[in-house]
Amino acid sequence: MPAQTRSKRSASSKDEPSEPPAKAAKTAKQPATKKQGGKVETKQASDGTASTTASLMKRLLSEEVYALAYPRIEKGHGEKDWSEEERVKPLPKEKAGQMEAEQRTDADGGQDRSTGKARGYTSPGLTPFAELICAILLSKPLSHRLGLRTIATLFSPPFGLYTPEALEKAGKEGRREPMYEARTQHKDKTADQLGDVVQGLREICGDNEQDVIQLKAVREAVQGQKRNEAVETARSKLTSGVKGLGPTGVDIFLRRIQAHEGWHAVYPFMDSRTASIAVRLELIDEKAAGDSLRAASDLDEMLNKHVKSASDEKRRQAFTRLLDVLVGLDLEKKLDAVKNDS
């Protein structure tokens, strides 16, 4: 529930009014006023606006609202967000998407992927490589929930295809199988593209698996640059080297990667779509929305003003989460409901 401000102040014997109550009521000071552009605003109104904004910010960062923005994707059949195409699922080839038992290890612990933990877009600890895969899938013309389902199916058991090596060894048939399982659209095209992503990143980052997982070459290229230069460097290297990755996909990737260690050069980043959502919630001025870098700075300052973070890392994480929530609420058509409840 939003925090409520209290305007009443109780008097104690040590804090008696300097005048009798009747006289004090007549001479009580009115809220301070100030003129801006010919308009007279009261301090009381200003304080009320600040309180409302602070309440909204805290609500947007709450677990309750995050669950509205990114609802749990249940397993099963009959979800309304599935594609409308008639599903004619051919029998997958034997062992499609499955590696031999001795090969089924992943980069973060050697755990057998068939019995590993579920992963998805909202899972903590996604690698930069996994973030890029998420961005590519979410940039496709899919419904919000279908995009989330596709990611969860690809990353989770029994497939566990969230590392370059796993996607490469699975082959097209192995990448195609989770696409059919998720009942996503453009299944074959997406299976091909995922292979192209790995190939493109190996050309950018080299053959070392961890360098590809961390997108080391891109990260090092942006370090030490000013924010606008860092954003353009990352955008250029990724779009020119990764087949099928367009501006929307890069925007989603940059929105998320700024919270990762070593990527602070692109922070604060916000794309134009997210900026327009922030304007609708009156978190930033409409004039700033035309310049996404300025809009990002304004929103970051607003967030830090109302929600203090313990460290720069926590501040970047809070900012990234706020952007995620804004986009998710908009796609789930819950934006106005959250605003009205705050």
Residue-wise pLDDT for 181-210, tens only, equals: 999 999 999 999 999 999 999 999 999 999
Q: Is residue 128 situated within a structural domain? A: yes
> Do 231 and 301 have their domain in common?
no
> How many CB atoms lie under 10 A from the CB of residue 242?
24
Residue 81 in any domain: the answer is no
Helix axes 128-138, 247-257, angle to 10 degrees: 140
For residue 242, give both structure tokens. 């990764």
Residue 217 lies in a domain: yes
Q: How many domains does the chain have?
A: 2
CATH, residue 222: 1.10.340.30
H helices of 8-160, where? 21-27, 43-60, 63-69, 128-138, 144-155
User: Is 291 inside any structural domain?
Assistant: yes
Decide: helix, strand or coil at residue 342: coil
- Comparing CA positions, the residue from 328, 301, 273 lying closest to residue 65 is 328
Is the same domain home to 241 and 305? no
SS3 36: strand
Total Cβ atoms within 10 A of residue 221: 17
Give the model's pLDDT for residue 296: 97
Residues 110 and 244 in one domain: yes
Model confidence band, residue 14 (pLDDT cutoffs 50, 70, 90):
very low
pLDDT interval class at 289 (50, 70, 90): confident
DSSP result, 124-183 = TT--HHHHHHHHHHHTSS--HHHHHHHHHHHHSTTT---SHHHHHHHHHHHHHHHHHHHT
Please state the rounded mean pLDDT for residues 93-102.
Answer: 40
Count other Cβ atoms within 10 Å, centred on residue 287. 11
Percent of the chain topping pLDDT 70: 73
DSSP state of 28: P
The number of CA neighbours under 13 Å toward the Cβ of 223 is 10
**The last residue of a domain, from among 233, 266, 299:** 266
Highest mean pLDDT among 70-79, 223-232, 279-288: 223-232
Do 154 and 238 lie in one domain? The reply is: yes
**Does pLDDT of 12 surpass 90?**
no
Residue 68's domain spans which residues?
Answer: 54-72+268-342
Domain boundary (236, 266, 296) is at 266
Same domain as 299, residue 191: no
Last residue within a domain, chosen from 240, 266, 292? 266
pLDDT at 244 over 80: yes
305 with 242, same domain: the answer is no
Q: What is the pLDDT of residues 44-82, one digit of tens each?
A: 444 556 678 889 999 999 999 999 999 988 664 434 444
Q: Check whether residue 197 and residue 248 sit in a common domain.
A: yes
Rounded mean pLDDT of the chain? 81
pLDDT bin (cut points 50, 70, 90) of residue 5 is: very low
